[in-house]
């Protein structure tokens, strides 16, 4: 995703996480905004069905707020959380519409010569989640063009990394197989949530030539105990220098890419996926 994405996430953490309380005190929320902030803080802790309903209701509440930077911040944070799984296309569309409305009301300046991260968020929602944006914003058009350039880079990507057992894996030597490249970390809750589904699908499709290459930029001392405790059997590769993360332009995790047997990039996620969503991605590579 865009270079701006990481910066946005840092700002959003000031809203969402207790450890950033000192930073969040700099923002004075209105009486209408404060309950939304509290809802966003607790969203990840809700059961998925409750989270879906709460997400949609929150999108509608944010839409009622007066135009301004606070509305943009809240809409962007909700959008960032709403791709962590499958809460329904209707829910995600409401979230998308809310963010699009917020940035139309309060246009954002470029950051280091590129559109602000919220425009990349909208471009990603349209390109990868097939959401409708309504009026075509020039900043989103520019962000989409950047995403297209990045996707071309990912199509040509190649790497060689070692797994926890010392075996080396080279992406472009795996043609003839369906390959899912997954970026994750032990500290990432959405990453941890999707891993059992990846394990299930790996066991189900391994006999059909399905390979998972799960890449972490952490060191062996952190990764090995976590993988052993979870009893995950798919290959876990280490990228401590983040060279492969950088090659794929990974600014947020989890993120997954599916290559078909011809080595063509046929699907990618912008966040955590459920088993059903992973199956949809794999179907595009011929696995059912």
| pLDDT averaged over 10-residue windows placed end to end, the chain, 288 residues | 36 39 67 98 96 98 98 98 97 98 98 96 97 95 98 97 97 97 97 98 98 97 98 97 96 96 97 97 96
Amino acid 22: pLDDT = 35
Which residues, in sequence order, are CB contacts of 103 under 8 Å at separation 6+?
Answer: 72, 75, 116, 118, 119, 122, 137, 139
Amino acid 21: pLDDT = 36
Of 287, 235, 260, 278, the C-alpha closest to 178 is 260
Amino acid 25: pLDDT = 52
Specify the residue for token string 């280490």. Answer: 238
Which residues, in sequence order, are CB contacts of 67 under 8 Å at separation 6+?
Answer: 102, 105, 106
Angle at the Cα of 155 (from 268 to 84), degrees rounded to 5? 15
Residue pair 212/235 in contact (Cβ under 8 Å)? The answer is: yes
Locate 94 and state its tokens: 């409401």
Which residues, in sequence order, are CB contacts of 192 under 8 Å at separation 6+?
Answer: 186
Q: Encode pLDDT of 115-136 as tens digits.
A: 999 999 999 999 999 999 998 8
Which homologous superfamily is 160-283 in?
A: Glutaredoxin (3.40.30.10)
CA–centroid distance for 189 within its chain? 12
Length of the chain: 288
Global confidence as pTM:
0.88
Q: Encode pLDDT of 29-85 as tens digits.
A: 999 999 999 999 999 999 999 999 999 999 999 999 999 999 999 999 999 999 999
- Burial grade of 275 (CB within 10 A; 0-12, 13-18, 19 or more): middle
């Amino acid at each position: 995703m865009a270079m701006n994405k990481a910066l946005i996430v840092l700002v959003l953490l000031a809203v969402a996480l207790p450890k950033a309380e000192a930073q969040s005190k700099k923002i004075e929320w209105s009486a209408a905004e404060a309950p939304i902030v509290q809802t966003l803080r607790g969203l990840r802790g809700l059961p998925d069905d409750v989270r879906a309903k709460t997400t949609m209701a929150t999108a509608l509440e944010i839409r009622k707020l007066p135009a301004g930077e606070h509305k943009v911040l809240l809409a962007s944070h909700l959008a960032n959380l709403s791709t962590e799984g499958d809460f329904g296309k209707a829910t995600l569309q409401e979230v998308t519409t809310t963010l699009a409305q917020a940035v139309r009301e309060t246009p954002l300046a470029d950051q280091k010569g590129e559109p602000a991260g919220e425009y990349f968020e909208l471009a990603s929602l349209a390109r990868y989640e097939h959401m409708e944006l309504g009026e075509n914003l020039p900043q989103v058009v520019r962000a989409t063009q950047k995403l297209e350039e990045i996707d071309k880079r990912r199509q040509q990507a190649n790497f060689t990394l070692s797994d926890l057992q010392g075996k080396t894996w080279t992406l472009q030597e795996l043609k003839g197989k369906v390959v899912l490249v997954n970026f994750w970390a032990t500290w990432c809750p959405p990453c941890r949530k999707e891993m059992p589904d990846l394990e299930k699908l790996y066991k189900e499709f391994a006999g059909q030539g399905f390979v998972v290459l799960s890449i972490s930029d952490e060191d062996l001392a952190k990764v090995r105990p976590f993988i052993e405790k979870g009893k995950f059997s798919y290959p876990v590769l280490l990228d401590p220098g983040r060279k492969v993360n950088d090659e794929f332009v990974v600014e947020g995790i989890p993120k997954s890419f599916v290559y078909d047997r011809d080595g063509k990039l046929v699907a990618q996620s912008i966040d955590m996926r459920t088993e059903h969503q992973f199956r949809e991605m794999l179907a595009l590579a011929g696995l059912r």
